Amino acid sequence: MLPATSTAGFVDTLTLSQTTTLDFFVDDFLLPDNAGGVALNIEAVPEPATLLLVGADLTGLAAVGARRKTI
């Protein structure tokens, strides 16, 4: 736990290598006025297989579109 005097502007990164449920708790017992706040930016990173499927779909759509133009 960090001392209360050094947490202003504290930024940290957590990288998870598997799909999991993450519970995030912030104790604010040192600041009874609740003047601070917490912001979380959570970004989903697609799996390589998902990117491969999306690429195949886009390639197929482009091929169908090109085929329709020539008929």
User: Would you place residue 12 in the very low, low, confident or very high pLDDT band (cuts 50, 70, 90)?
Assistant: confident
Condensed to tens digits (0 to 9), the pLDDT of residues 31-70 reads 666 555 666 667 777 677 888 888 899 999 998 888 776 6
- What are the extents of the domains in the chain? 4-70
pLDDT for the residue numbered 59:
92
Spatial separation of the C-alpha atoms in residues 44 and 41, rounded to whole Å: 10
Closest of 36, 51, 45 to residue 15, by C-alpha: 45
Q: What is the pTM of this model?
A: 0.33
> pLDDT tens for residues 56-66?
999 999 988 88
